[in-house]
Structure 1
Amino acid sequence: MIRSIFPLLAVLLGLPALLFTSCSEDDDELCIEITWYEDADGDGLGNADVTLSACEQPDGYVADDSDPNDTGGTSTPVSAFDDFNSAAVTVSFDGAEITLESNGLPNHTSPYWEETSPLYIEPVVAEALTPGRIGGDRSYTLTVPTAPELAASSTATGLGPIGIAVSGAPIFNDTEGPNRPLEEQTAETFDYAGAHNGPSGYHYHVEASDVPENTMLSHDDEKLIGIMSDGFLIYGRKCNSTGDHPTNLDVSGGHTSSTQHSEGEAFYHYHIINEYYLGTLIVLFGVDLQGTPNGIF
């Protein structure tokens, strides 16, 4: 009898009657439905465009509606790995994981090769060379999920490899040492590929130059650059989905769209951010990773 008078009381008091519904015939408590928002990527933030109304929190939904990019683990296109230099990089698939093993030896010319190498050329961009040459007993192994997800918070990159380029050489960030951002003196040691040699071997810092010697590396285009340690692919400054520089990138140069590798399916990936760092140089990746980083050993 008590339960049956609530709709009448709601009308008399001017309250929204839809809020007062019984959860079950045996439940004396009232059910007040609220709006829940889908949290596809599990970061605790919900998608304002996908909702459910329920008395209790449904699985996969949260009360927050502030997620600007609720991407939930779209698989990395397998065809992207066809772009990697097979002479340097071995790619293996094992269930929910992808492992890349590289010897770090790029498949393009550079003055950092030994002069006896068929890939050696005289410097065309570098004004000075760092000590050491390409070669030696190098190895880089990275294991990432086949469907990487955006993390609840971003992660700053550190010194050393933060990704593996399609050539097989590692990608570094915009620092040259502890609290040492790239400077003009360091930039003078980069070859046309945007790389130089260091204690950890030959590695890239910046986008390749637009010179005749550059026949395969990305320069202001949509080519695949490589894969970052959080499992997300990184492409050149332009996006295949529009043929131009994307305008909807997040702070790390990432967005969700299709690429030349995904057969029309949208997935999250990075781009080189179209901003100059030093003069005409553009850093490959000088921002935070938006996924969970994995070690490159």
Structure 2
Amino acid sequence: MNYTKLIFLFLLGAFIFISSCSSDDDSCTETTWYEDADGDGLGNPDVSLTACDQPEDYVEDNTDTDDSGSSTSGGSTPLSAFDEFNPDAVTVSYDGDEITIESNGVPNHTSPYWEETNPLYIEPVVAVALTPGRIGGDRSFVLTVSSTPELATTSSATGLGAIGISVTGVPIFNDQEGNNRPIEELIIETFDYAGAHNGPSGYHYHIESSDVPENTTLSFDDEKLIGIMSDGFLIYGRREMDGSYPTDLDESGGHFGVTQHSDGEEFYHYHIINEYYLGTVIALFAVDLQGNPNAIM
């Protein structure tokens, strides 16, 4: 009798278990989930799966047309861009995923800041007054960056001194002068047509070059490469390759797009922002860096 009861209880338990499982299966309603690779809460309509429970990194929304927009990756820096750098001033070397740019800061264009005996010396065509000092001297600028720079979670303000290295080898400065004061009219009057003047740290650029016949090298309101910033992102002129002004720039003048160097691949890069400074000049870079800055030694 006890044996018969045990069999009955076992069969009853098995029936209840099977019924419970069937009930659970019947209550499962599969949902289509869409991949949210960039974590912005919007799903990629082209990547989906069905499941009862929400998988990790998937959402119900399917309206994200660019599921990489919030990624920290800026893409790979196109190495052909470094062919634009002045070989008499700049040396570029590669070590694994690092790129090192070394410059002596000596440009390959004319300026009234050359010694008068130098073949590149010209009389001022833009500058009203010159700051003390001449181009040359024993200078060295070394910047090491990643070949795949990343966007930082927070932007970084630039300070005094070099914040980038231009294609000519001349360092790029922001819109500040000594004592962290903004560029003023009297300072603007010292810039040559290249947008540069001399200072305690030597010859350096602050603003976009001028549209004068003497300017045969530097970018003016075009798509030319300007140089590389200390966070590893390249900076180009005000325009796109097709001659248009970009309309999707972030607050630092950056966006994902193609350039003449990227072989159709999009990567993050800066443009000179198409806004006049003090109504007369355009600063090369007067905003925050969107990547992680590296020291320019």
| TM exceeding 0.5 | yes
Indicate whether 1:194 and 2:206 are aligned. Answer: no
Q: Which residue of 1 aligns with 2:296?
A: 296
SS at match of 2:36: strand
Looking at structure 2, the residues matched to 154 and 102 of structure 1 have their Cα atoms a distance apart, in angstroms, of 26
Question: How far off is 1:152 after superposition?
Answer: 1.2
Correspondence 1:149-228 to 2 at 5 A: 149-228=150-229
Q: 1:73 to 1:252 in 2, by over 3 A?
A: closer
Query: Which whole-Å deviations, capped at 9, do the CAs of 1:81-105 have from their partners, x for residues lacking one?
Result: 0000000000001110000000000
Flag the structure with higher helix content: 2
Percent identical pairs in the alignment equals 66
- 3-state SS, counterpart of residue 143 of structure 2: strand
Matched, 1:273 2:285: no
Which amino acid is the alignment partner of residue 283 of structure 1?
A
SS at match of 1:238: coil
Maintained 8 Å contact 1:47/1:68: no
CA deviation string 1:176-212 (max 9, x = no partner): 1233011111111100000001111110000000001
Contact 1:47–1:67 (8 Å) recurs in 2: no
Could you tell me whether the CA contact under 8 Å between 1:48 and 1:67 is conserved in 2? no
Larger Rg: 2
| Superposition deviation, residue 68 in structure 1 | 4.5
Structure 1 residues 52 and 201, CA gap change in structure 2 (3 angstroms):
farther
Q: Within 5 A, what are the aligned runs for 1:118-157?
A: 118-157=119-158
* Structure 2 residue aligned with 1:79: 80
Instruction: Determine whether 1:17 maps to 2:35.
Output: no
Cα distance in 2 between the residues matched to 1:49 and 1:185: 53
Mapped pair 1:91 → 2:103: no
Write the mapping of 1:235-254 to structure 2, written as runs, cut at 5 A.
235-240=236-241, 242-254=242-254
CA contact (8 A) 2:127 2:192 kept: yes
Structure 2 partner of 1:48? 42
Is the CA contact (8 Å cut-off) linking 2:33 and 2:59 kept in structure 1? Answer: no
The answer to whether the 8 A contact 1:37-1:52 is kept is no
- Structure 2, unaligned stretches of length 5 or more? 1-16
User: Does 1:5 pair with 2:23?
Assistant: yes
SS of structure 2 residue aligned to 1:202: strand
Which stretch of structure 1 is more off in the superposition, 81-90 or 273-282?
273-282
Question: When the two structures are superposed, what TM-score results if normalisation uses the length of structure 2?
Answer: 0.84
After superposition, the Cα gap between the structure-2 partners of 1:178 and 1:47, relative to the gap in structure 1 and judged at 3 Å, is farther
Aligned CA-pair RMSD: 2.4
